[in-house]
């Protein structure tokens, strides 16, 4: 199948696109999480691009970099030290970004509605945007979803050591990310000695290469920078304070997570699924995968689950 690929910007927001042959069946927009930007849905390794998988199934597929990420506009504060940088890419800013992208995609494609998919922190953005514009989102896909149950491990990372009830003020406006930072989150979800069975080294290389190439303003060749406004949302969520009421979501919804995910936990997904107001809702757990499941060898299973949901008639 011949797929047409392109990249463009909307008000400084970088967008990846993959269009199928013939008349598209619909439009899908992917929203990334707190660390790796849109490349996570378009990994340049054969078999690992969600955009290509959805386009091959007939869907005009898009993924965007939010403000401060990858190839999108980098606010001036990111040229300062993290301590001097103001808070960037909060949940509210992300919703505004998605609104701009959605408006452009509706004009570009001629489609009044679209499928919205969010991963990790992006699942919060996607769900909140669905509540903001229910007339636009025809289906909602939440990958490695987050909602609002206590996550002790994450609170140890995010909390102020002197006052666990508040976020650590020393986190600053953005943070540097190195290869070892990704691995420090990824590897604990993989049984010892199974790294190669669970993760293709070429995929990790591709993610890092893309992010490093995108951050032309980084002062270090092995570091890419990401905003920390996301962490304030995550601190609330991991403290058991949901950011939205899922009862108000009526659109068909898919939840999908990796069985070994320590960030999107079984308990959190169960609570979200139970409270969703959708009449049509599915929850799928993929074995032998974790939080970065779209970048693991289980990626094909995730793509199949997503496309099955897109093909489903409601």
pLDDT digits (tens, 9 = 90+) for 121-139: 999 999 999 999 999 999 9
Domains of the chain: 4-311 (3.40.50.1820)
pLDDT-derived band of residue 314, with 50, 70 and 90 as boundaries? confident
Q: Could you give the percent of the chain with pLDDT greater than 90?
A: 97
Q: Is the pLDDT of residue 67 over 90?
A: yes
pLDDT confidence of residue 250? 97
pLDDT-derived band of residue 289, with 50, 70 and 90 as boundaries? very high
Q: Is the pLDDT of residue 307 over 70?
A: yes
pLDDT confidence of residue 1? 64
Q: Is the pLDDT of residue 6 over 70?
A: yes
Query: pLDDT tens for residues 233-259?
Result: 999 999 999 999 999 999 999 999 999
Q: Is the pLDDT of residue 2 over 80?
A: no
Query: pLDDT tens for residues 253-287?
Result: 999 999 999 999 999 999 999 999 999 999 999 99
pLDDT-derived band of residue 219, with 50, 70 and 90 as boundaries? confident
Q: Give me the DSSP letters along the chain.
A: ---EEEEEEETTEEEEEEE-SSS-SEEEEEE--SSS-GGGGB-SSTT-BHHHHHHHTTEEEEEEPPTTSTTS---GGGGS-TTTSPP-S-HHHHHHHHHHHHHHHHHHH--S-EEEEEETHHHHHHHHHHHH-TTTEEEEEEES---S---HHHHHHHEETTEEEEE-GGG-SEEEE-HHHHHHHHGGGS-TT-HHHH--HHHHHHHHHHHHHH-TT-SSTT-EEEESHHHHHHHHHHTT--SS-GGG--S-EEEEEETT-SSS-HHHHHHHHHH---SSEEEEEESS--TTGGGSTTHHHHHHHHHHHHH---
Query: pLDDT tens for residues 82-130?
Result: 999 999 999 999 999 999 999 999 999 999 999 999 999 999 999 999 9
pLDDT confidence of residue 83? 94
């Amino acid at each position: 199948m011949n797929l047409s690929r392109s990249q463009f910007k909307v008000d400084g927001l970088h967008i990846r696109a993959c269009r199928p042959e013939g008349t598209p069946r619909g439009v899908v927009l992917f929203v990334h999480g707190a660390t790796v930007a849109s490349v996570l849905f378009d990994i340049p390794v054969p078999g690992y691009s969600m955009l290509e998988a959805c386009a091959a199934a007939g869907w005009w597929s898009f993924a965007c970099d939010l403000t401060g990420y990858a190839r999108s506009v980098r606010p001036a504060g990111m040229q300062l030290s993290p301590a001097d940088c103001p808070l960037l890419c909060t949940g509210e800013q992300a919703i505004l970004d998605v609104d701009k992208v959605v408006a452009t995609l509706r004009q570009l494609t001629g489609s009044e509605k679209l499928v919205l998919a969010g991963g990790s922190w992006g699942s919060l953005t996607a769900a909140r945007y669905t509540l903001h514009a229910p007339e636009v989102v025809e289906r909602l896909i939440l990958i490695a979803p987050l909602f609002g149950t206590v996550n002790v491990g994450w609170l140890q990372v995010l909390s102020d050591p002197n006052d666990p009830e508040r976020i650590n003020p020393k986190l600053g406006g953005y943070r540097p990310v190195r290869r070892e930072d990704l691995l420090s989150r990824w590897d604990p979800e993989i049984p010892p000695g199974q790294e190669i069975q669970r993760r293709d080294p070429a995929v990790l290389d591709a993610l890092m290469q893309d992010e490093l190439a995108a951050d032309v303003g980084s002062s270090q060749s092995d570091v890419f920078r990401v905003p920390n406004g996301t962490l304030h949302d995550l601190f609330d969520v991991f403290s058991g304070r949901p950011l939205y009421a899922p009862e108000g979501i009526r659109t068909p919804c898919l939840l999908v997570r990796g069985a070994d995910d320590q960030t999107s936990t079984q308990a959190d997904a169960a609570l979200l699924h139970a409270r969703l107001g959708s009449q049509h809702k599915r929850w799928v757990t993929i074995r032998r995968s974790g939080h970065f499941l779209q970048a693991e060898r289980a990626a094909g299973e995730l793509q199949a689950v997503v496309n099955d949901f897109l093909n489903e008639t409601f």
